Amino acid sequence: MILWIVLLPFIAALLPVVIQKQFSKIHTGWFVLPVPVIASLFFISKLSNINPPFFESHRWMPSIGLNLNFKIDGIGLLFALLISIIGALVVFYSIHYLSHREELGKFYTYLLLFMGAMLGVVLSDNILALYMFWELTSISSFLLISFWYVKARSIQGALKSMLITVFGGLMLLGGIAILITITDTTSITEMINQSSTIQQHPLFPLALILVLLAACTKSAQFPFHIWLPDAMEAPTPVSAYLHSATMVKAGIYLVARLTPIFAVSAIWTYSLIFIGLFTMCFASIKAVNQKDLKGVLAFSTISQLGLIMSLLGLGSFAFSNQFKEMYIIAITASVFHILNHASFKGALFMTVGIIDHETGTRDIRKLNGLLTMMPVTFTMSCLGLLSMAGVPPFNGFLSKEMFITAVLNVVNHAMSSHLILSIIALLLMFIGSMFTFIYCIKLLKDIFFGHPKDNTSEKPPHEAPLLLLVSPIVLITMMLIISIVPNVFLPLLTAATASITNQHVDVAHIHHFHGINSPLLITLAIIVFGALLVATYQHWSKLYSVLPERFSLNHGYDFLLKHSQTTSKSINQFLVFKTIRFSMSAILVTLILMTVYVFINHSVAINFKSLSTIQPYEMILVGIILIATIMILKAQSRLFSIIMLSAIGYSIALLFVFFNAPDLALTQLAIETISTALFLMCFYHLPKQYRHKESATFKLTNFVIALLAGICVTVIALAAYSNKLYPSIADYYIKHVYDLAAGKNMVNVILVDFRGFDTLFESSVLGIAGIGIYTLIRLRQNRGEHNEKTK
């Protein structure tokens, strides 16, 4: 059943393009809407019985361990609910948001593809299947960001997100490969059962870092957050769905899912805490001076994701510390905040979409005083922003309280021996929370209050149609329900926490008011300081221009991208467009270096057991060959060098005579004569100038390379000759040449009988060369005429 729920979006993704063509009158989204609704109903029906977890397995490729095994437990169900319910709301919203003129078929295909992939990620118990769905989310996100592909910025944003998330995806693949090698299983449940074995393995830290990289790139943690603001070029329903509620939480899901394996390690805990806190702080500061509404929301998403990451890190202390309950609160808080963030951030993106839709701009400087014109939008934005800011009594306040409590717990107990780390953690937490408050309130103040600027906006602003408002209203209502009666969701939160920590937990109720304690005081301080800073924003906003653009991470990314292209291009040009001599030298130098390497690293015995005696007439021939060779090197005329070449050839033929090879001698004589004739024939056509001017260094390098190559060949031949390991098989041929093959000339019998295939193909080579030469000459005449015509 789970298989069909996961496959349903993929199957449905085949249809929208057809539907848009067939039923162009009705918005395609109406046909898509049932898919997430069915999925939501299915997952809601599972709410009551997730303890113990529900398993389902389907064989796919058992030989490599890739099976479609699914598991529904607390955390998986929480994510699946978010994906399907927000998916349904986003589809409903986009029905009214996107006009008929858009390529709706494509849009819904990509969206359904993404939905299926995301459900696959959160429900897979097979880690290879998880990876597969993980990459599918990257691809569908790429397609959705570049939906308006005529805009250059869309393409750039899509490319950036693709490069960064696929980089992370490949890291994940590496981590997965290590985990599979250690545990010899692809089931995540099995891996968690074997976590103690994994933790003792030497590759454990590497797997940890790789998985962490994957999670940080997908969930836009510092310094990989840069793709998320650029992904805002996507249509707003996509931003609401992918880049606030679901895909960016895939990294969080991965961290939560693998926490039982990695949490014992201090690297895991501390890097999660500090990457998370730093990202939260950094992104909230950046969010304050954004000019684009979606830019603010993008940075705020990054910041909130950092908060959730750090909560998971804080909760990891439960695995390595004695006071379990105290740290498990942090994990509950992270799960709670995932829920909260999905509710208010989805709604905020949708309201931003509405403002964009109704006023024609997303620029904060052009929007003002929308309060009276768009009261419903204002109410929703106000509630969402206040919740995000952590103002009581909304749900953002509840999870922020839990966050502060978790940080204080860890600082007081687990990290009490590291004073500097504690101070940094507290400071990051305070500044991050304060700036979160600042950008929320500033956004509210800038857009909705003040005097309306009629002349700047393209359309007269007015309230959105009711149907467009439905989805954000539903989300805001959900948010309000969580705010007012948070304990309704407690069973789900407890189940999710239990499945992350892999043990039974009982969590106390979530309270609005704990009495006057340090978290409450910190929240009050945040609100007071934040309010002061919002009021005085004009005076300190100049601080943002202190750091020049050159040092930003985006600049670094552009720099890397540009230079990787130019560098590879210049390397390519350096290597490919050089002269042939350069390539030849490279090949020869490689040969020389490899020979030297082999002879240095392996002792090669050189001994000569069976040497034949040197005859004087052979000496004379060797002398002739040597003299002729030297003469060729020095020759100034072509004719002379050709004659010297044939001298070498004929001397070698004579050597063949002395070495008892009559067939060779015959062939060599004949061939040498023909080649000399050929060379001489070519002279008639080749230029008069035989040698081109070569500089002294040119000659010297050539000489050095040639000498070394010659020495290498000599040494290899000597070593090979003195190390004969086996007797020759020639005895067989010699013995059986007459009785098996009925011939007396052994060389000829070998050529046409024992090894006849060689001869067959040697003849083909000759034939092909003949045809080639003929073609070359014919081609010359045809092309020559043609060239003359064109000239």
Partner 1 sequence: MEILMIILSGILVTCGVYLILSKSLLRIIIGSSIISHAVNLLLLTSGGLKKGASPIYEKHQQVYADPIPQALILTAIVISFAVTAFFLVLAFRSYKELGTDNISDYKGVPDDE
Residue 552 touches partner 1, criterion: CB under 8 A: no
Q: Of 535 and 626, which has the nearer Cβ to partner 1?
A: 626
Among 601, 607, 613, 697, binds partner 1 (CB under 8 A): 613
Q: How many CB atoms lie within 10 A of CB 299?
A: 25
Residue 647 touches partner 1, criterion: CB under 8 A: no
- Ramachandran category for residue 81: left, alpha or beta (phi over 0 → left; psi -120 to 50 → alpha): alpha
Q: Of 206 and 773, which has the nearer Cβ to partner 1?
A: 773
CA distance 70 to 125: 5
Q: How far is CA 502 from the centre of its chain?
A: 30
Among 206, 535, 560, 769, binds partner 1 (CB under 8 A): 769
Which residue do the tokens 């990294």 mark?
251
Show contacts with partner 1 in window 690-749 (CB under 8 A): 690-692, 694, 702-703, 705-707, 709-711, 713-714, 717-718, 720-721, 728-730, 733-734, 737-738, 743-747
CA distance 2 to 53: 13
How near is the Cβ of 626 to partner 1 at its closest, in Å?
7
Q: Kindly indicate which of the ranges 80-88, 118-126, 204-212, 614-622 contains the residues binding partner 1, using the contact rule CB under 8 A.
A: 614-622
How near is the Cβ of 427 to partner 1 at its closest, in Å?
51
Per residue, what are the HEC states of 607-655? Answer: CCCCCCCCCHHHHHHHHHHHHHHHHHHHCCCHHHHHHHHHHHHHHHHHH
Alpha-carbon dihedral 635, 636, 640, 644, rounded to 10 degrees = 20
Which residue do the tokens 């940075």 mark?
299
Residue 755 touches partner 1, criterion: CB under 8 A: yes
How near is the Cβ of 623 to partner 1 at its closest, in Å?
10
Residue 649 touches partner 1, criterion: CB under 8 A: yes
Residue 785 touches partner 1, criterion: CB under 8 A: no
How near is the Cβ of 775 to partner 1 at its closest, in Å?
10
Q: How far is CA 169 from the centre of its chain?
A: 5
Q: Of 470 and 751, which has the nearer Cβ to partner 1?
A: 751
Q: Of 157 and 649, which has the nearer Cβ to partner 1?
A: 649
Q: Kindly indicate which of the ranges 82-90, 358-366, 485-493, 684-692 contains the residues binding partner 1, using the contact rule CB under 8 A.
A: 684-692
Among 135, 463, 558, 618, binds partner 1 (CB under 8 A): 618
Per residue, what are the HEC states of 168-214? Answer: HHHHHHHHHHHHHHHHCCCEHHHHHHCHHHHHHCCCHHHHHHHHHHH
How near is the Cβ of 571 to partner 1 at its closest, in Å?
13
Among 184, 190, 454, 762, binds partner 1 (CB under 8 A): 762
Residue 537 touches partner 1, criterion: CB under 8 A: no
Residue 549 touches partner 1, criterion: CB under 8 A: no
Show contacts with partner 1 in window 486-515 (CB under 8 A): none
CA distance 108 to 506: 42
How near is the Cβ of 667 to partner 1 at its closest, in Å?
5
Q: Of 511 and 786, which has the nearer Cβ to partner 1?
A: 786
Q: Of 101 and 693, which has the nearer Cβ to partner 1?
A: 693
Q: Determine contact, residues 369/435, Cβ cutoff 8 Å.
A: no
How near is the Cβ of 55 to partner 1 at its closest, in Å?
54
Residue 678 touches partner 1, criterion: CB under 8 A: yes
# residues near partner 1 by CB under 8 A: 101
Q: Of 555 and 578, which has the nearer Cβ to partner 1?
A: 578
Structure tokens at 699: 């000659």
The H or E element that residue 56 is part of is strand 54-61
CA distance 346 to 352: 10
- What three-state secondary structure class fits 727? coil
Q: Kindly indicate which of the ranges 222-230, 364-372, 443-451, 627-635 contains the residues binding partner 1, using the contact rule CB under 8 A.
A: 627-635
Q: Of 603 and 612, which has the nearer Cβ to partner 1?
A: 612
Q: Kindly indicate which of the ranges 245-253, 464-472, 519-527, 634-642 contains the residues binding partner 1, using the contact rule CB under 8 A.
A: 634-642
Q: How many CB atoms lie within 10 A of CB 746?
A: 17
Residue 625 touches partner 1, criterion: CB under 8 A: yes
Q: What size, in residues, is the chain?
A: 791
Amino acid at 53: P
CA distance 672 to 656: 13
How near is the Cβ of 566 to partner 1 at its closest, in Å?
13
Amino acid at 313: G
- What three-state secondary structure class fits 58? strand
Q: Of 516 and 696, which has the nearer Cβ to partner 1?
A: 696
Residue 682 touches partner 1, criterion: CB under 8 A: yes
Residue 654 touches partner 1, criterion: CB under 8 A: no
Q: Determine contact, residues 353/464, Cβ cutoff 8 Å.
A: no
Among 645, 647, 650, 654, binds partner 1 (CB under 8 A): 645
Quick one: which of 277, 299, 278, 279 has its CA closest to 287?
A: 299
Among 671, 740, 785, 786, binds partner 1 (CB under 8 A): 671
How near is the Cβ of 599 to partner 1 at its closest, in Å?
15
Quick one: which of 390, 386, 495 has its CA closest to 72?
A: 495
Backbone angles phi, psi at 15, to 5 degrees: -90, -40
Give the orientation angle of helix 490-501 with respect to helix 324-359, to 10 degrees: 120
How near is the Cβ of 592 to partner 1 at its closest, in Å?
10
The sign of the torsion formed by the CA atoms of 661, 662, 664, 669 equals positive
Q: Of 521 and 720, which has the nearer Cβ to partner 1?
A: 720
Among 22, 615, 637, 723, binds partner 1 (CB under 8 A): 615
Q: How many CB atoms lie within 10 A of CB 561?
A: 14
End-to-end CA distance of the chain: 74
Show contacts with partner 1 in window 571-590 (CB under 8 A): 573, 576-581, 584-585, 588
How near is the Cβ of 573 to partner 1 at its closest, in Å?
6
Query: Alpha helix (H) ranges present in 416-517?
Result: 419-448, 466-484, 490-501
Q: Determine contact, residues 332/318, Cβ cutoff 8 Å.
A: no
Q: Of 333 and 749, which has the nearer Cβ to partner 1?
A: 749
Q: Kindly indicate which of the ranges 256-264, 546-554, 558-566, 665-673 contains the residues binding partner 1, using the contact rule CB under 8 A.
A: 665-673
Q: Of 63 and 612, which has the nearer Cβ to partner 1?
A: 612
Q: Kindly indicate which of the ranges 7-15, 39-47, 361-369, 682-690 contains the residues binding partner 1, using the contact rule CB under 8 A.
A: 682-690
Query: Alpha helix (H) ranges present in 70-151?
Result: 74-97, 104-123, 127-145
